[in-house]
Chain A
């Protein structure tokens, strides 16, 4: 008999709780209504559009195999773009991650400015960089390489720094107290334990960038995205279908390879 009495709450508190919950519910509903309005959600347009898309899908069969060699070349261009962009990011990320890692930075005052700079690059999408570089260095995959590289730099350096900060301090301290210099400590005591984590980060970005690079051609930065855009503009659905299949196959193969390699690290 004691438990109901113990759990009974004074009436005033119950009603305040109820008012609070109702208030939150109203806020959430209003937020969704405003969002739907701003996003111009139009169910009638969707209803009209679905049959049109079904019609396109019907037209897309059978997929076109014409110019498949060009498509594969473009796909290879996309992979190259991602590979070089990720490598560029790696080259830039190693020194900046050292500056940004709390337990490694030789100049602690530089840590925050470096982090802000990295956030700027991380916050700017590869797509945005690609548009800028297409204007600066011209159409083609090279603009894509630069765009992918700069955007990935920020994210990669941040994850590198976090991986380094997560390492146990004990072994580093133990080796440092033998009187060894910082460079020796880092290369001998830190790198072996950090390497699997860092490699995994690089593979993740390579995989991510291959997916991201498939659409960079839309803004003129080369690769299979360029074919995607031209087929879309010409409403060439059989070819569009083939392109989507090629992209899907590419992404699946890369994901599988990458996850297998990552599983072996450890």
Chain B
């Protein structure tokens, strides 16, 4: 509605949602530029998952705007939502790969919106899509595992396949909801490094919730802090000091 011309790729404005009358998001607003990596922090129940699910309309927000390339996703009719959703890639804590498919096929799943239905049913993908899938696997360092079944891969490898799936989807926004919560520290760091690098290389927006504050350093450009559904912090990572870290997880400061 504001019509202001900015170079923001994703803009969230006054996003509000309530579960059975209890506010879960209270007027959250922020904007993200291409290539920016934003960490979303906050205690459990602070509204991180709700924020992500509202952006993709997996749950319907009660009010606000979610602007992607200037288009408000919340005003789109449900049937034309599919195309907009394809522009937002999701990374989940539990990876959510199809267990019995190979890593390559899981990455190809990111192309499904574009591929004609008969090709999906016949499992005959365009060579260009096959090439893209392999390139995406190569980008996350798993080309050698292309033909391995997803459930035979380690947790860190599965999450990297999930990142390759989002790359194949060619989204301009990646929402990662606790992507490293079930990984060991080394695998977690590797996954976050890949997310940061692809954001830089391809000008993708990465919005990533984390529950380990120390993972922010060397990963994010910017930190958003949620508390009780409200955005209480929006600072460059350099300004996210010890005092700010403590304040964000201090239950006493909650009204």
Point out residues on A near B: beta carbons under 8 Å. Answer: 168, 170-171, 173-175, 177-181, 183-185, 187-189, 192-193, 195-196
Q: What are the 7 tightest A-B residue pairs by CB atom distance, in nearest-first order?
A: A179-B86, A180-B112, A179-B113, A170-B96, A174-B96, A179-B82, A192-B100
A199 CB, min distance to chain B CBs, angstroms = 12
B interface residue numbers (CB < 8 A to A): 56, 58, 82-86, 88-90, 92, 94-101, 105, 109-110, 112-113, 115, 117, 120-121, 162, 165, 169
- B100 surroundings in chain A (CB, below 8 A): 192-193, 195-196
Q: Per DSSP, are chain B's interface residues mostly helix, strand or loop, or mixed?
A: mixed
Determine whether the beta carbon of B98 is less than 8 Å from that of A187.
no
B98 in complex: contacting residue of A178, A184, A193, CB < 8 Å? A193
B148 → chain A, closest Cβ, in Å?
14
6 CB < 8 A contacts A-B: A174-B109, A177-B58, A179-B85, A179-B112, A180-B113, A196-B100
Chain B residues with CB under 8 Å of A170's CB are: 92, 94-96
Interface of A is mostly: helix
Q: Min CB distance, A152 to chain B, in Å? A: 26
- Residues in A neighbouring B99, C-beta threshold 8 A: 171, 192-193
Instruction: List the B side residues contacting A174 at CB < 8 Å.
Output: 90, 92, 96-97, 109, 162, 165
Judging by beta carbons under 8 Å apart, are A188 and B83 in contact? no
Q: Kindly provide the distance from the CB of A185 to the nearest chain B CB, expressed in whole angstroms.
A: 7
Known pairs A179-B86, A192-B100; list 6 more (Cβ under 8 Å).
A168-B96, A173-B58, A177-B58, A178-B165, A181-B113, A193-B100
CB nearest neighbor in A for B110: A178
Are A188 and B120 neighbours in the complex by a CB distance under 8 Å? yes
Q: Collect the chain B residues with CB atoms within 8 Å of residue A177's CB.
A: 56, 58, 85, 88, 90
Given contacts A171-B99, A188-B112, A189-B98, contact A178 B121 (CB under 8 A): no
Flag if A185 contacts B112 (CB, 8 Å).
Answer: yes
With both beta carbons as reference points, the residue of chain B lying nearest to A192 in the complex is identified as B100
